[in-house]
Structure 1
Amino acid sequence: MYKITTAEKFLWDGLTLDNKLVLEGGTSWGNTTDIIAQKTAEHGWKTRLISVDVDDSHFSEIEKRLGTSFVELNLRKADLGNLDFINENTIDVVICNYTLSSVNQFPFRGVKALKEFYRVLKPGGKLLITEEMPIWSVDSKDYEYWSKRLRIIKSISVLKAMAHFNEIHPQDLEEVMITLGFKNINRREFKEVIDAEMATKFLDKRKQTLIKGQDDLQNQQVTKGFVELTEKLVKEFENAKEFSAPAYIIKAEK
């Protein structure tokens, strides 16, 4: 959903994808895929890319848009916690942008994904992770729209008995990575610029889930209340182009 803009220099510093096999963890709409394609074009890199997501609904449009941008583009529907179609010690670079918190909807699923990243990376291979900070770790007054939006999305998910994103604090993520064997870990926290239209679209999608789904709690007042909260927040931001959110990047090697 998000594009790295604020910390792009830190993310790409010292990194080359020329003659590399790259794994993108979490394709989604192809935003990160677009960025990788842009970088390969700018530098004339010859890059092979495997992009993995549990949802393949955007694969065909990504293939049409970017199919000729890489030496080879392989879009694969799979769980990042099970990359059994990739041999160990074969990937040069893993890029996982704003995806680990989604994988981590289920307890320890994020750890499984990190374990798989370590397995498929070559010795000396690089891992780049970008994630949002957990909502409880920052002052919500500094990020008012981001905070309200996340709380509404998570609350609706709980009401509908749906798993929801679990953001991981960078210190905790670093400890897990050390335990799995990653080294030369370097992280940076920053304020990211988020595309308001796409973020609001996801918020409205959650509202539709609430409206169309069964009233599990059999309480129309609760449903009505969250619908009103969602519509009010969408209305507040309908003319905005972007908003700020706290995020971080972690870079490491196998």
Structure 2
Amino acid sequence: MYKIITADRFLWEGIDLHGKIVLEGGTSWGNTTRLIANKVVENNWRTELISVDIDDSHFNEIEEDIKDDFAKLTLRKGDLSDLYFIPSNSIDIIICNYTLSSVEQFPLRVMKAIKELYRVLKKDGQLLITEEMPIWSVDSADYTYWSKRLRIIKSISVLKAMPAFNEIHPNDLEEGLGIIGFKDIQWREFNEKINAEMAVKFLDKRKQTLIKGSNDLENKQLNDGFVEITEKLVKEFEKTKEFLAPAYILKAKK
């Protein structure tokens, strides 16, 4: 979902996409898709990319922007926990940036997704994952904007009886990957720089859910209160281009 900035070197270290079939798990607005495209052009790689997301609303604009950068580009609406349309042992590299916490909105769904990612990877194929650290595992005082934004999003999700994003600690993700069969697992934590404009888009999306959705609890003060604190934080975001968030990159092989 966000641009990889501070951890870029570790993410791409030892990665060669030339002649490879790459699966991107979680297209979203296409930030990572465009990042991959830039790397392909920069290195003159001939790469086939398959990008999968449960929401296809941004596919047309993404395809228009980068379709000429790849040997073949496929944008496919689908669920990472059920990649029935991708043959087993057919993918060289999988890249999932800020995606698994969305999959884990539904408890244990991420294990189904990891199992599918393992299935479609070729032997010795590589899995690259970037995620935010769980809010409970860090000192939120060190990440003021990130902490406030995350708490508001989660609170609104609970208020509206919507599935909430669940960040996965790297130790737990490493354990899950090992259970499925992944090997050579390594991860590093970073202070990631998050693009404020992108963060505001998602925050505003949750605010619109409050405004347009039904008031399940029939409590106008509660509803209006969350709209107010959301708008206040959005105004704070307008004063900065980026903010720090604790993130990690995990690498593994099949």
Task: Spell out, residue by residue over 1:25-73, the C-alpha distance to the aligned partner (whole angstroms, 9 max, x if none).
Answer: 0001111111111111111111000000000001111111111110000
Q: Which residue of 1 aligns with 2:124?
A: 124
Q: Which residue of 2 aligns with 1:73?
A: 73
Shift of 1:19: 0.2
Alpha-carbon distance in structure 2 between the residues aligned to 1:141 and 1:135: 11
Q: Which residue of 1 aligns with 2:171?
A: 171
Moved over 3 A (4+): none
Alpha-carbon distance in structure 2 between the residues aligned to 1:29 and 1:201: 10
- 1:114 equivalent to 2:114? Answer yes
Alpha-carbon distance in structure 1 between the residues aligned to 2:43 and 2:235: 41
One-letter identity of the residue aligned with 1:166: N
Task: Spell out, residue by residue over 1:132-169, the C-alpha distance to the aligned partner (whole angstroms, 9 max, x if none).
Answer: 00011100000011001000010001110100111000
Q: Which residue of 1 aligns with 2:60?
A: 60
Match of 2:68, SS? coil
Match of 1:115, SS? helix
One-letter identity of the residue aligned with 1:32: T
Q: How many residues align?
A: 254
Q: Which residue of 2 aligns with 1:92?
A: 92
Shift of 1:200: 1.1
**Where do 5+ consecutive residues of structure 2 fail to align?**
none
- RMSD over aligned CA atoms reads 0.7
Alpha-carbon distance in structure 2 between the residues aligned to 1:106 and 1:251: 23
One-letter identity of the residue aligned with 1:95: I
Q: Which residue of 1 aligns with 2:141?
A: 141
One-letter identity of the residue aligned with 1:147: S
Match of 2:38, SS? helix
Shift of 1:113: 0.8
One-letter identity of the residue aligned with 1:117: L
One-letter identity of the residue aligned with 1:83: L
Match of 1:94, SS? strand
One-letter identity of the residue aligned with 2:187: R
Alpha-carbon distance in structure 1 between the residues aligned to 2:48 and 2:93: 11
One-letter identity of the residue aligned with 2:114: L
Q: Which residue of 1 aligns with 2:25?
A: 25
Q: Which residue of 2 aligns with 1:37?
A: 37
Shift of 1:239: 2.1
Alpha-carbon distance in structure 2 between the residues aligned to 1:150 and 1:195: 15
What TM-score comes out, normalization by structure 2 length?
0.99
Alpha-carbon distance in structure 2 between the residues aligned to 1:231 and 1:148: 12
Q: Which residue of 2 aligns with 1:5?
A: 5
Q: Which residue of 2 aligns with 1:193?
A: 193
Shift of 1:221: 1.1
**Where do 5+ consecutive residues of structure 1 fail to align?**
none
- 1:182 equivalent to 2:179? Answer no
